[in-house]
Chains A and B, each alone.
Chain A
């Protein structure tokens, strides 16, 4: 198994700061904006970004978690059903600007399921997608991210491994893994 470092700790920190600046540029004082992290690892990224944004804007910004398991299109098409995680959206998303946050954008199917799930909570005015890693040329649906940490050329057989301190790792790092 070969491992290649895509983003090291320092670069990842700079990348996340840059993403936050882009968000501030587009969302102003965040009075109409909410952040929603995707289960499971997207919520960790959302936590980091949310913390940074609140520091930058000195405002309380609503943060929620979304699990799209029950809206997936591969139910009964895989051996074992995917395990659901907690959904926690304790604010109204009706009429809001939603920034959906995930760690890796791959086939786009999770995002499709997430958009579907989100409708159960109301009709947002606008939805944007933020991802740390955008895997190019692997999309199976017409879905693109608005804010991208880093675009990476990958093969379908490869895997992107996100290691975050919140998961118990020593440092935040992102790897590309070759499965042999």
Chain B
């Protein structure tokens, strides 16, 4: 018997370590399910889920959709680009219209930080945050931590460096919360302009030299430079960024130890990560993608079951 402490998954900040561990234990079982000859279970056959994406996504949306289908849920997909949002409908109206069609759960991505939290105050359905602006991306952090646990046996006591565009990254913030709750030591590394001013207050170490960060860590979670969110120039050129912060095989080989390379995707090959590093045996990038489906199945299953 087991239940999450929350009705929604809005962020990692407001869930407990026990919640995370329950999600992991359930995800392990779902990982076994998705490797069976028949990859589907009937658990959510009477549940309807709407994937409401106000922002572009390939991986997350496919992963959620696949997780829902593996659980036998009915799904509808909505993207803002071809909807009435363009005609001026408010967020709450849009969602209430979807819910009027008897939808039980909303998976939402939105460009505004806090959008799912606002929604949670006004609607009854379960909400899963699939990314809200530069704020949180809880399922990504869960699958990252799950992948570290799978690779290294546990997260507690491990040293994880998050490298790249911390300022614009919801993955970074959710990762920091998740990893710290599980007892890991976290470091952020990037050019000073891409580090939030008060990041030190979250209890993370800050490092500007990528070689030192790699030397320190057991796992490097490399983030993409989010050019689409950058209104001003934070560094002179991509070439210069790559020169100072790009990770390649030569750099990895020069370390005295083996470290694990992660990336939430999409990778800008040759910018933050070179091809020979992304495709090396250090990398667990594709394991992250596989685990993403299992972790999302666990989240949907646990939220729907407690309804």
Is A75 in contact with B43, judged by CB distance below 8 angstroms? Answer: yes
Is A85 in contact with B37, judged by CB distance below 8 angstroms? Answer: no
| Complex-state Cα separation, A83 to B2, whole angstroms | 6
Chain A residues in 8 Å Cβ range of B1: 80-83
Chain A residues in 8 Å Cβ range of B200: none
Is A84 in contact with B36, judged by CB distance below 8 angstroms? Answer: no
Is B3 in contact with A76, judged by CB distance below 8 angstroms? Answer: no
- Asked if A67 is at the interface of the complex by the 8 Å CB criterion, the answer is yes
- Asked if A95 is at the interface of the complex by the 8 Å CB criterion, the answer is no
Is B29 in contact with A76, judged by CB distance below 8 angstroms? Answer: no
Chain B residues in 8 Å Cβ range of A180: none
Digitize A93-118: 1 where CB-to-B-CB distance is under 8 Å, 0 elsewhere. Answer: 00000000000000000000000110
Give how many A-B residue pairs fall within 8 Å (CB-CB): 66
Is B37 in contact with A67, judged by CB distance below 8 angstroms? Answer: no
Is B38 in contact with A80, judged by CB distance below 8 angstroms? Answer: no
User: Which one, B2, B36, B44, B302, contacts A121 given CB within 8 A?
Assistant: B36
> Quick one: closest B residue to A73, CB to CB?
B42
How far is the CB of A91 from the nearest CB of chain B, in Å?
A: 13
Is A85 in contact with B36, judged by CB distance below 8 angstroms? Answer: no
- Asked if A119 is at the interface of the complex by the 8 Å CB criterion, the answer is yes
User: Which one, A71, A80, A87, A122, contacts B42 given CB within 8 A?
Assistant: A71
User: A71-B42, A86-B29 known; A80 and B36 CB under 8 Å?
Assistant: no
How far is the CB of B128 from the nearest CB of chain A, in Å?
A: 16
How far is the CB of B215 from the nearest CB of chain A, in Å?
A: 38
At the interface, is chain B mostly helix, strand, loop or mixed?
A: loop
| Complex-state Cα separation, A67 to B305, whole angstroms | 17
Chain A residues in 8 Å Cβ range of B26: 83-84
Is A76 in contact with B37, judged by CB distance below 8 angstroms? Answer: no
Is B37 in contact with A121, judged by CB distance below 8 angstroms? Answer: yes
| Complex-state Cα separation, A120 to B40, whole angstroms | 8
Is A76 in contact with B38, judged by CB distance below 8 angstroms? Answer: no
- Asked if B146 is at the interface of the complex by the 8 Å CB criterion, the answer is no
Digitize B15-45: 1 where CB-to-A-CB distance is under 8 Å, 0 elsewhere. Answer: 0000000000110111011001111111110
- Asked if B47 is at the interface of the complex by the 8 Å CB criterion, the answer is yes
Q: Knowing that A83-B25, A120-B36 touch, tell me 6 more A-B residue pairs with CB under 8 angstroms.
A: A80-B306, A82-B1, A86-B32, A87-B32, A119-B38, A120-B38
